[in-house]
A = this chain, B = another copy of it.
Amino acid sequence: MIGEYSVEEDFLNSALNAEGSFIKTEDVIAWVEQENARISVSVNQVRFKEMNSWNFTNNMFNLKHESNGFFSIDGINVSTNFGGIDSWDQPIINQPEIGYLGFITKKFNGVLHFLVQAKIEPGNINYVQLSPTIQATKSNYTKLHKGSVPKYLEYFRDRKKPKILLDQLQSEQGARFLRKRNRNIIIELFEEIKVYDEFVWLTLGQIKTLMRENNLVNMDTRTVISGIKYGSEHTVRKDIMEYIKYHDNRELLRSAIAEKGALNSTRNIIAWITELKCRYTLNVTRKAVNSLEYWLLNDYEIKHETGGYFKVIATEVEISNREVSKWMQPLIQPAQEGLIAFVVKKINGLLHFLVQAKVECGNFDVLELAPTVQCLTGNYQNSATGSLPYLDTVLMAPKEQILLDNLQSEEGGRFYREQNRNMIVMVDESFNEVLPPNYSWMTLNQLHTFLVYNNYLNIQSRSLIASIPLL
């Protein structure tokens, strides 16, 4: 177990290093801006029938690539007893293959550094965002796209050489992806490694600092980072524990490593999840894309009659960098900005997160643990007061109680300029409501504990957890 302690200590140490051995944090922002200036990206909407290699199947159940690779847009009917609507139709992204989202790490001056890539995605706001060392679908790494193999892939494929610090299956957006999971990996190398132009070494502290910026650290980075555990009280180095004791503002870090003091035992949380998984039903059946109720399929897009939720658009993408790449693909375009937020409160002297068990149509196992407020596609800014639990608590929080507030992008390879407001809001002890049955208080350490097992925390929770500053 000595090995285990040291991995967690290495992660924590990296998170507590505000600067690393290479590029300065403030220079990373300038570097990404410069990368952005060097390139041009155009995304033009085209007709579905103009999209090379993409076709609707004869039964209209799927819009898919002729290679059967990448992903398809499928029609589904959803029925559930969760929430206000019993049954609805929608298009959904179906991508059964498991992709890699992986970081290479290496110690410099005793501190773990992450090899971060400035990566262009057509749907990104800012185009270039900081992404993991590798982002590869199976179609990528089996060369289905006839292009080159992703850089650094060989380090992930040969598992004997590197030390594996983290390797987890994690879900994607359950409202948009049908049971999609990615493999989140962090490996540590001990050998020399070539660093290509668009890559830099950053500490975890630097990455977390950069997450304070809008739309700079991409979703794939955030999901991988979220899986990191920072140990627990009795494993953390003494000097760090002393440091926490004398710094009252280290309450998020304390909650991350707390072993005792949780309001609800982990056993009770499992019992609560079991009860809800038995209570709520979720049935998803296939349906033709052109027969989805309230959805319109025209030459250019699949959209909801109200203009709400999201659209599936056919696009032609052109990226000019060192060389020109050009391809066609469907993208998902949201109707408006969403909001995800955790409400946190000090209970028994320890920060607790208000977690929501949420059924989403693409979930692998009925429900996952979501943030207190998650309205990705709803028009929350105009919503009636009190329509969504705790929405007002979040939106009306006084400035000094806002621990985190920024805009973060969804994955730019599938989503067109989709950004969501990410918030963490502290409430005081007078916040003492009776929770709805699908809400519960958990410490950050408990959230981390569930996170390492499959399909417990949804990607919105993980995005927020990744952003939590420990410095």
| A interface with B by C-beta (< 8 Å) | 1, 3-4, 7, 98, 159, 164-169, 183, 229, 259-262, 265-268, 270-271, 274-275, 277-278, 364-365, 452-454, 456
| Selected contact of A4 from candidates B3, B265, B274, B275, CB within 8 Å | B265
Given A270-B452, A452-B270, A453-B453, verify A167-B275 contact (CB < 8 Å).
yes
Report whether A266 and B4 are in contact in the complex, using a CB–CB cutoff of 8 Å.
yes
Given A167-B275, A274-B183, verify A452-B267 contact (CB < 8 Å).
yes
A270 and chain B: residue at smallest CB distance: B452
Shortest CB-to-CB span from A358 to chain B, Å, is 17
Report whether A274 and B365 are in contact in the complex, using a CB–CB cutoff of 8 Å.
no
A186 and chain B: residue at smallest CB distance: B271
Residues of B within 8 A of A267 (CB): 4, 7, 165-166, 229, 452
Copies, count: 2
Report whether B453 and A271 are in contact in the complex, using a CB–CB cutoff of 8 Å.
no
Shortest CB-to-CB span from A401 to chain B, Å, is 28
Report whether A271 and B98 are in contact in the complex, using a CB–CB cutoff of 8 Å.
no
Report whether B169 and A277 are in contact in the complex, using a CB–CB cutoff of 8 Å.
yes
| Selected contact of A270 from candidates B168, B268, B271, CB within 8 Å | B168
Residues of B within 8 A of A98 (CB): 277-278
* Bound complex: CA A275 to CA B184 (Å): 11
* Bound complex: CA A275 to CA B158 (Å): 12
Report whether B169 and A274 are in contact in the complex, using a CB–CB cutoff of 8 Å.
yes
Query: In the complex, given contacts A166-B267, A169-B274, what are 15 additional A-B residue pairs having Cβ atoms less than 8 angstroms apart?
Result: A1-B261, A1-B262, A3-B265, A4-B265, A4-B266, A4-B267, A7-B267, A98-B278, A167-B270, A167-B275, A168-B270, A183-B274, A270-B452, A270-B453, A453-B456
Report whether A260 and B1 are in contact in the complex, using a CB–CB cutoff of 8 Å.
yes
* Bound complex: CA A387 to CA B59 (Å): 46
A159 and chain B: residue at smallest CB distance: B275
Residues of B within 8 A of A270 (CB): 167-168, 452-453
Q: List 25 A-B contacts (CB under 8 A).
A: A1-B259, A1-B261, A1-B262, A1-B265, A4-B265, A4-B266, A4-B267, A7-B267, A98-B277, A159-B275, A164-B268, A164-B271, A166-B271, A167-B270, A167-B271, A168-B270, A168-B271, A168-B274, A169-B277, A183-B274, A183-B278, A270-B453, A364-B365, A365-B454, A453-B453
Residues of B within 8 A of A3 (CB): 265
* Bound complex: CA A392 to CA B57 (Å): 52
Residue of A7, A167, A365, A452 ringed by the most chain B CB atoms within 10 A: A167
Residues of B within 8 A of A261 (CB): 1
Residues of B within 8 A of A165 (CB): 267
A364 and chain B: residue at smallest CB distance: B365
Residues of B within 8 A of A183 (CB): 274, 278
Residues of B within 8 A of A262 (CB): 1
* Bound complex: CA A265 to CA B165 (Å): 11
| Selected contact of A274 from candidates B7, B167, B364, CB within 8 Å | B167
* Bound complex: CA A277 to CA B364 (Å): 14
Q: Give the 7 A-B CB pairs with smallest separation, nearest first.
A: A167-B271, A4-B265, A167-B274, A453-B453, A164-B271, A1-B260, A98-B278
Shortest CB-to-CB span from A79 to chain B, Å, is 14
A182 and chain B: residue at smallest CB distance: B278
* Bound complex: CA A82 to CA B266 (Å): 34
Residues of B within 8 A of A365 (CB): 364, 454
